[in-house]
A and B are shown apart, each in its own frame.
Chain A
Amino acid sequence: MKLTLRIWRQSDREARGKMVTYKIDDISTDMSFLEVLDVLNEQLTATGEEPVAFDHDCREGICGACGMVINGVAHGPQKLTTACQLHMRHFKDGDTIDVEPWRARAFPVVKDLVVDRGAFDRIIQAGGYISAPTGSAPDAHATPVPKPDADAAFEAAACIGCGACVAACPNGSAMLFTAAKVAHLGALPQGQPERASRAAAMLHAHDEADFGGCTNTGECTAVCPKGIPLTVIGAMNHDVLGSAIRGR
């Protein structure tokens, strides 16, 4: 298939970027979206142009490294799919496809489609863990966890931290990411001692990073490759309110 790609090119953090149009032929419908960019980059390298920078790692949809806004939708048109697992059979021959980086003040563009997601690290550092000497892995039945709690925790823990929720949110909010971590640890017995302070500290780090506030529009969960439900935001609000009421 033949495609026209319009890609955001920006040489470094300070540069003014712009959309640049590229024509590309001989694309197989079995290729992933990242493989199309690989093919394009080979072309660009052959003609002496700078290849398009983009983040990628596992290419199995589980690491959260890749991420770009494809035709205005984070990770592209296929639901529950990362850009690396998006195959070209979902596009038509002759399509024009717009590719842009995540757009948020908290995610400055480093180069082309690569953004600095360090703000997510700062949110995790603020409380996205339990303060316990973990040692070696305990026996699985050492601390009994009711099945529904384990399921809820696992559902939230499936977050790969790709940042699509921020990219899609009309408010540029990272509430789905932050809330997924809060809901995950808050659902398990090991997370209880720091539950209230964790929610408050992570929310504080979220707000400090210049992310917007949540307005519950649900754009985030629609594009989330792991299908993190909007209910985690309610779990986070619950814990934040509990923290405020109890004063810790």
Chain B
Amino acid sequence: MVASGTRDRAAVAAKESSAPRRNAAYRSTVGIKVVMAVTGLLFLTFLVLHMAGNLKIFFGAESFDHYAHWLRDIGAPALPHEWFLWIQRGVLTLALVGHVWAAATLALRAKRARPIGYAHRPKVQGSYAARTMRWGGVIILLFLVWHLLDLTVGTVNPVGNPATPYANVVAGFAPSRWPVTLFYVLAVVAVGFHVRHGLFSALRTLGQRTANGERWARVAALGFAILLCVGFLVVPFAVLVGWVGPA
């Protein structure tokens, strides 16, 4: 390895030349991962609240619509109409930019780190969830565009009336629109896989470092993944089988 006669000098030279600048940790691969982890946890928080809100649909049209309109007045009277919503949208958009930037940076780094691949390369251990983070993320991003056009803006929704979110949901998941529902299901399952590896990975990035903690992190990641899948899929399922029908 290092020639023995020059070892000390080489060590000193190496330490001086590659000495990290102050707070270089922010720009390191771990720093990039922290951006990924923190923005991911923000999305997870949003998703859990979003899912809980969706379940209001089982309390009837009036309850669901009332809840949806209340979202526009969170923080009132301190915050004017829809201000909270726009602040939240701004924060989530910034988080999305950070999350995708971190993913792209790490993916490019990974590509650069192995210029010549293996001729023979079976999958060893990495879970399906871990292996599909990048493409799963792309699927979720594409779905997000559709989802906003469908149930927020309403341009691709059969009803598309911001005043009647309940009617929008029932019309959106109508049996005749099964390809849309199928896309929704695929995207939610992709979110489940993404959260399954993402939450575990985020906790590790933020310093989870004991064997016991690792077991809990895996349980929590799987638990949130299942919770989100069930919570988000029960709504289109209920519309499809008629538990939730036109008001």
Write the residues of chain A forming the contact surface with B, with a CB cutoff of 8 angstroms. Answer: 6, 8, 19, 69, 71-73, 98, 100, 103-106, 117-118, 121-122, 125-127, 168, 170-173, 175, 183, 200-201, 203-208, 210-219, 221-223, 229-238, 240-241, 243-244, 247-248
**Would A218 and B113 be within 8 Å (CB), given that A19-B119, A72-B120, A238-B207 are in contact?**
no
Q: List 30 A-B contacts (CB under 8 A).
A: A72-B124, A73-B122, A100-B118, A100-B119, A103-B114, A103-B117, A104-B113, A117-B1, A122-B18, A126-B14, A171-B109, A172-B113, A172-B114, A200-B20, A203-B28, A204-B20, A213-B29, A215-B130, A215-B133, A215-B201, A216-B204, A217-B125, A219-B125, A219-B126, A221-B125, A230-B214, A234-B204, A234-B210, A237-B206, A241-B34
Which residues in A have their C-beta under 8 angstroms from that of B115?
Answer: 105
Which of A118, A125, A201, A237 contacts B204 (CB under 8 A)?
A237
Indicate if B30 sits at the interface (CB-CB under 8 A).
yes
Q: B2 on the interface (CB 8 Å rule)?
A: yes
Q: How far is the CA of A9 from the CA of B151 in the complex (A)?
A: 58
- Would you call A213 and B14 a contact (CB within 8 A)? no
CB distance from B200 to the nearest CB of A (A): 7
Interface size on B, residues (CB 8 A): 55
B11 close to chain A: CB less than 8 A = yes
| A216 touching B110, Cβ below 8 Å | no
- With contacts A207-B28, A214-B29, A216-B204 known, is A126 near B18, CB below 8 A? yes
CA distance A233 to B32 in the complex (A): 15
- Identify which of B19, B23, B197, B209 contacts A234 (C-beta below 8 A): B209
Known: A72-B121, A72-B122. A213 touches B204 (CB 8 A): no
Q: Which 7 A-B pairs have the closest CB atoms?
A: A172-B113, A234-B209, A213-B29, A238-B207, A212-B113, A171-B110, A222-B125
Contact string, B13-46, partner A, CB cutoff 8 A, digits 1/0? Answer: 0110011101111101111111000000000000
Taking CB atoms, residues of chain B closer than 8 Å to A125 are 10-11, 14-15
- CB distance A170 to B33 under 8 Å? no
Q: Which of the residues A171, A212, A234 comes within 8 Å of B207, measured between beta carbons?
A: A234
Note all chain B residues with C-beta closer than 8 A to A6.
119
A104-B114 contact given A217-B126, A219-B126, CB 8 Å threshold: yes
* Least CB distance, B138 to chain A, in whole angstroms: 16
Report whether B109 and A122 are in contact in the complex, using a CB–CB cutoff of 8 Å. Answer: no
Is B116's CB within 8 Å of the partner chain A? yes
Digitize B184-227: 1 where CB-to-A-CB distance is under 8 Å, 0 elsewhere: 00000000000001001100111111110110000000000000
Q: Does B148 lie at the interface of the complex (its beta carbon under 8 Å from any beta carbon of A)?
A: no
Chain B residue contacts of A219, Cβ below 8 A? 124-126
Contact, CB under 8 Å: A200 / B24:
yes
Considering the complex, give the chain B residue whose CB is closest to the CB of A239: B207
- Indicate with 1 or 0, residue by residue over B72-108, a CB within 8 angstroms of chain A CB atoms: 0000000000000000000000000000000000100
Please tell me which one of the listed residues A126, A170, A205, A247 contacts residue B110 in the complex, with CB atoms under 8 A apart: A170
Q: Is the CB of A212 within 8 A of B109?
A: yes
From residue A202, how far is it (CB to closest CB) to chain B in Å?
A: 9
Contact B28 A241, beta carbon cutoff 8 Å:
no
Q: Are A247 and B109 in contact (CB under 8 A)?
A: no
B118 adjacent to A103 (CB under 8 Å):
yes
Min CB distance A213 to B, Å, is 3
Extra inter-chain contacts (13) besides given A103-B117, A248-B22, CB under 8 Å = A69-B120, A106-B113, A125-B11, A125-B15, A126-B18, A170-B131, A171-B106, A171-B110, A173-B29, A173-B110, A218-B130, A234-B207, A244-B31
